[in-house]
Structure 1
Amino acid sequence: MQLLFLVLVALIRCKSGIPVSGGWELNGHLALEEEDQCTVDRRANLTYTEFIHQYAFSRPVILQRFTNNSLFQDLCSKEKLLAEFGGFRIRLSTANTYSYQKVDLSFQEYVEQLLQPQDPNSLGNDTLYFFGDNNFTEWGRLFQYYSPPPFHLLGTTAAYSFGIAGAGSGVPFHWHGPGYSEVIFGRKRWFLYPPEKRPDFHPNKTTLAWLRDTYPALPITERPLQCTVQAGEVLYFPDRWWHATLNLDTSVFISTFLGLGQQDPPGQG
């Protein structure tokens, strides 16, 4: 009965068009001059054949309305996640390119003490970021309600990485295998370069610092593909594409990494 109620609530919110924050801080968000600029294709109607031929191995794409995760979104509200997982231990990574350091603490401690806007003057190794390293025995009961994007790549297996991070936070440029990233609450800005075009960045400086110090001096032809992914949208990135992320609000997000065989996905995104 409780699950049926949650489904009905989620459907009502979805159909009403009422903005949903889930109790997360979405008002003191980061404003960017070029936020409306998007150089990544958005597709609401895309066949699997089109996905394979046009995007899977060549360029990123944002998928719209391919799945309905309104129930999963409802379960990811601040109140429900704290009630369900508040006492669980989670593993945080430093928000630099290689995520050198790991710190364990309770989910409630992270939300109440560390989930705050990024200090513009902090380095990546001074910033703790909750993404990846999820204990699937504990978080699996949440993930069972998530509907992943429908397009698969032959020979790969999917693995989830779930995260929550404050406005202005993100991970500087890095690369790994292909995958998807869906925003559940908030907004996330993505910057992407193809594998052969290594971006100019320092691995221990935050994306916010890169945007402030490096990006303005880039010639137009040297700037990355970029777009703001909204709640309910899914960005697909091909294999070995460089990408950096910047959360414009407190963001709740989940990635689906497509690894080869039993290969573990990286804990970054």
Structure 2
Amino acid sequence: KLMALEARPLLWLALWTLAVPARTAPGEEHCTVERRADLSYAEFVQRYAFSRPVILQGLTDNSRFRDLCTRQRLLASFGDSVVRLSTANTYSYQKVDLPFEKYVEQMLHPQDPISMGNDTLYFFGDNNFTEWASLFRHYSPPPFSLLGTTPAYSFGIAGAGSGVPFHWHGPGFSEVIYGARSRWFLYPPEKTPEFHPNKTTLAWLRDTYPALTPSARPLECTIQAGEVLYFPDRWWHATLNLDTSVFISTFLG
């Protein structure tokens, strides 16, 4: 595993409530986003690219990339590299630079349920693609693209319970590489979610989500390692890592 997780009762209570919601039998996942295997590019463009998210299965084989993303291998290859951390709030204004080894050894821990977004730092985006080129060249991105866009990677590593609160940008793909599970919440552009931009996704899950009426709830699903989530342009989305995870997004801009 990437790291040994600390026991934090409030965190695990929240994650358990999410993983097994009311009216769902233990072991049965609550998911309102379609999963598709063997999806053709023509159908992707026609049904999903401009209208709704979809989870894609079996598109790529990133087993080699996954093997290179263990804690031991990442520290051996990039421990001395300086990485840029962002705050886990909607706008991510604050940036902090420090050695990757220090981030993994001292800061890669489960999210504190009472911390605000601007007090929570994690590694996602702001990647030095020259310094990390030996890793990224082994990644196989989703084969689908949109006319007139150029793909750009955003690589990250974060602890259980971490994530980014609701925000939106252009279309893209997201994939969990190592660590197994990432929970996503999505709203269409015309439906602004109820959230505080400086509260973490974990706090939103605890304080806001339970009071939402069925019609006000987002589309949601847990992305497993090896699956790829596609989200269209300007769709609101928030993320929650259920495990300590390595993940990568491909933004189409």
| TM-score, scaled to structure 2 | 0.91
Spell out, residue by residue over 1:42-92, the C-alpha distance to the aligned partner (whole angstroms, 9 max, x if none). 011100010001100000000111100000000111100000000000000
Task: Specify the alignment match of 1:241 in structure 2.
Answer: 235
What is the one-letter code of the residue matched to 1:95?
A
Q: Secondary structure at the match of 1:226?
A: strand
Task: Specify the alignment match of 1:149 in structure 2.
Answer: 142
- Which of 69, 79, 89 is 2:62 aligned to? 69
Deviation, structure 1 residue 24: 4.0
- Which of 220, 225, 234 is 1:226 aligned to? 220
Task: Specify the alignment match of 1:87 in structure 2.
Answer: 80
After superposition, the CA RMSD in angstroms is 1.4
Write out the 4+ residue segments of structure 1 that deviate beyond 6 Å after TM superposition. Answer: 26-29
Is structure 2 residue 189 aligned with structure 1 residue 195?
yes
Task: Specify the alignment match of 2:24 in structure 1.
Answer: none
Spell out, residue by residue over 1:121-150, the C-alpha distance to the aligned partner (whole angstroms, 9 max, x if none). 000000001000000110122110000001
Contact 2:188 2:236 in 1 (8 A): yes
Task: Specify the alignment match of 1:132 in structure 2.
Answer: 125
Task: Specify the alignment match of 2:248 in structure 1.
Answer: 254
Task: Specify the alignment match of 2:44 in structure 1.
Answer: 51
Task: Specify the alignment match of 2:211 in structure 1.
Answer: 217
Task: Specify the alignment match of 1:164 in structure 2.
Answer: 157
1:134/1:203 CA distance change after superposition, 3 Å: same
Contact 2:6 2:110 in 1 (8 A): no
CA distance in 2, matches of 1:24, 1:255: 22
Contact 1:95 1:206 in 2 (8 A): yes
Spell out, residue by residue over 1:6-26, the C-alpha distance to the aligned partner (whole angstroms, 9 max, x if none). xxxxxxxxxxxxxxx4x4447
Contact 1:25 1:249 in 2 (8 A): no
Q: Secondary structure at the match of 1:96?
A: coil
CA distance in 2, matches of 1:220, 1:71: 41
CA distance in 2, matches of 1:122, 1:211: 14
Q: Structure 1: any 5+ residue segments left out of the alignment?
A: 1-20, 260-269
| TM-score, scaled to structure 1 | 0.86
What is the aligned residue count? 238
Task: Specify the alignment match of 2:103 in structure 1.
Answer: 110
What is the one-letter code of the residue matched to 1:61?
V
Is structure 2 residue 53 aligned with structure 1 residue 60?
yes
CA distance in 2, matches of 1:175, 1:247: 18
CA distance in 1, matches of 2:114, 2:6: 22
Contact 2:34 2:54 in 1 (8 A): yes
Identity of counterpart residues, as a percentage?
76
Contact 1:117 1:168 in 2 (8 A): yes
Q: Structure 2: any 5+ residue segments left out of the alignment?
A: 22-27
Deviation, structure 1 residue 188: 0.4
